[in-house]
């Protein structure tokens, strides 16, 4: 069982790091290049 707990804690650390990176990206939205309109339209259709 300790193996499972270790893996979950490591996953939580990775999720925390990923969350920090996402928060930084959201603070600086101009860092990434704009998406082409085709992908944006596809995402809007998938959401709807």
Look at the chain and report how many structural domains it folds into.
1
Identify the residue whose tokens are 């790091």. 17
Q: What is the pLDDT of residue 45?
A: 64
Residue 25: CB partners within 8 Å, gap ≥ 6? 31, 32
Q: What is the pLDDT of residue 44?
A: 65
What pLDDT, in 10s, does the model give residues 1-48?
Answer: 556 666 788 888 888 999 998 888 888 766 566 666 666 666 666 655
- Other beta carbons within 10 angstroms of residue 12's beta carbon come to 10
Q: What is the pLDDT of residue 23?
A: 87
What domain range includes position 7? Answer: 2-47
Instruction: Kindly report the pTM of this predicted structure.
Output: 0.38
């Amino acid at each position: 069982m300790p193996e499972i707990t270790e893996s979950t804690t490591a996953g939580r650390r990775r999720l925390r790091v990923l969350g920090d990176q996402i928060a930084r990206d959201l603070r600086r939205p101009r860092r990434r290049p704009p998406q082409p309109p085709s992908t944006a339209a596809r995402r809007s259709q998938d959401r709807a």
